[in-house]
Structure 1
Amino acid sequence: MSKKNLKRLIILGVICALYAASAIGYSLTFNDGRLIYPMDFGSYQFHIKDVPMMLALILVILYVIYLAALLVISGLVVKRNSRKTGRTRKINPKFGYLGFLGFMGFLGFWTYLVYGMIFPFVFFVFFGFFGFFYEGKMSNILADERFQQNRREAELKALRVGYSLTFLLVLLVGMTGSHVSSGVVALLLTCGISLICGLVQFLNEYLLYRYDQMDSTDWEDEDE
């Protein structure tokens, strides 16, 4: 990701945060906390004073979509360039802090209980961004045959873990599905699959880093 895009991302994030804080303050002060405190949406009637909070919600959703799209596009571009140079992509380990976005998934428990909405649980996928920390430690190194072999082994082991957890999740849902509502089943599947995807992404980078460090240690021992 270029410094220009990173700067734009930070500025937009600050603007969204400030606007959301202002909208919450406005709703608490002048609109009796509507759309903040739990309310019955079955009898909801639109008020013009609800507009600031609605816009804040829309802005936050658009920002998250923009963030995800920018990260995916930047990742594809950098990977394409790394194939040409034969070196791993350049990335700052501090991007691992993006993994904290995964905690936004816990908002899903509130939205599910109040509004019956499970979409926020998808944010658990962002826990996988903690893997950027380990990828950053291997930034711009030679991707030789040994490194490629370690990458394949890391991907295979991460996928095996993901497959095993997915099997257990399906087994759990299959055993309890007839005793709970369809909403709970959707909640379990959304939470479980999102967490598994994030775990697989994190393990992929973590295991690759561990294998690379183990090989580097072996080479140093042989030299001694």
Structure 2
Amino acid sequence: MSKKHLKWLIIFGVLCAVCVAAATAYSLNFNEGRLVYPMDFGSYQFQVKDIPMILALIITVLYVFYLAAAIIVHGMVVKREGRRTGRPRKISPKLGYLGFLGFAGFAGIGTYLSQGLIFPFVFFVFFGFFGFFYEGKMSNILADERFLKNRREAELKALRVGYRLTFLLVILVGMAGNRVSADIGAVLLISGISLICGLVTFLNEYLLYRYDQMDSINWEDEGN
């Protein structure tokens, strides 16, 4: 991702925040706080004054999807380049701070209780971005046979953990199916699967870093 592209992503993010803040202020001062305060969307009726808030929300959601897509596409491009050069992609460990986006998933508690909206729980998947910290520490090192072996082992172990947790989640939700509503079951599944996906993504990078460090220590001990 070029610095110019990153610059525009930051600018658009700031603009989205400004739009939401302006639309919220407008709704609170001139539209009785509609679409800001909790309301019953089952009986919702559109009003012209709702347009600023609706547009701000649409723009923000589109930006979040575009940001996620840009990060994924950039990662795919860099990984393909890494396979060509024989070195993993070069990124900054500071990208691990993106993992804090996962805390946005807790907003789903408020949206579910007030509006019955469960989509924000999906943001738990962003906890996996903490793995960028460990990936950044291994940026641009030589991807030799030992490194590739560690990568395969890390991926396999992370997938095994994810499979076992998913299996356990399905069993638990199935056992609780007669005791909870369908909405609660959906919340548990979405939250659980999102957290598991984030955990698998994080473990993949953490375990690779740990295996690489362990091998480095073993090599140093043998050298001494």
TM-score using structure 2 length? 0.97
How far the C-alpha of 1:62 sits from its partner, in A, is 0.3
Q: Tell me the residue number matched to 1:155.
A: 155
CA displacement 1:120-156 (0-9 Å, x = unmatched): 1111111101100100000000000100111111111
DSSP 3-state at the match of 1:177: coil
Matches of 2:83 and 2:174 in 1, distance apart? 43
Q: Tell me the residue number matched to 2:167.
A: 167
TM-score using structure 1 length? 0.97
Mark the runs of 5 or more structure 2 residues left unpaired by the alignment.
none
Q: Tell me the residue number matched to 1:2.
A: 2
DSSP 3-state at the match of 1:165: helix
How far the C-alpha of 1:72 sits from its partner, in A, is 1.1
Matches of 1:28 and 1:9 in 2, distance apart? 29
CA displacement 1:30-66 (0-9 Å, x = unmatched): 1111111111222222121111111111111101110
DSSP 3-state at the match of 2:114: helix
Matches of 2:79 and 2:100 in 1, distance apart? 24
Q: Tell me the residue number matched to 1:29.
A: 29
Matches of 1:113 and 1:209 in 2, distance apart? 40
Q: Tell me the residue number matched to 2:134.
A: 134
Alignment of 1:1-224 (within 5 A): 1-224=1-224
CA displacement 1:50-96 (0-9 Å, x = unmatched): 11111111111101110111011111110111011001111111111
Deviates more, 1:162-171 or 1:194-203: 162-171
**Which residue identity does 2:133 align to in structure 1?**
F
Matches of 2:43 and 2:115 in 1, distance apart? 12
Mark the runs of 5 or more structure 1 residues left unpaired by the alignment.
none
DSSP 3-state at the match of 2:177: helix
Matches of 2:9 and 2:66 in 1, distance apart? 9
Runs ≥4 residues deviating over 4 A: none
The number of aligned residues is 224
Q: Please tell me the root mean square deviation across aligned C-alpha atoms, in Å.
A: 1.0
Matches of 1:221 and 1:4 in 2, distance apart? 45
CA displacement 1:172-193 (0-9 Å, x = unmatched): 1110012221111111100000
Matches of 1:195 and 1:115 in 2, distance apart? 22
- How many percent of aligned residue pairs carry the same amino acid? 74
DSSP 3-state at the match of 1:180: coil
How far the C-alpha of 1:119 sits from its partner, in A, is 1.0
Matches of 2:212 and 2:5 in 1, distance apart? 30
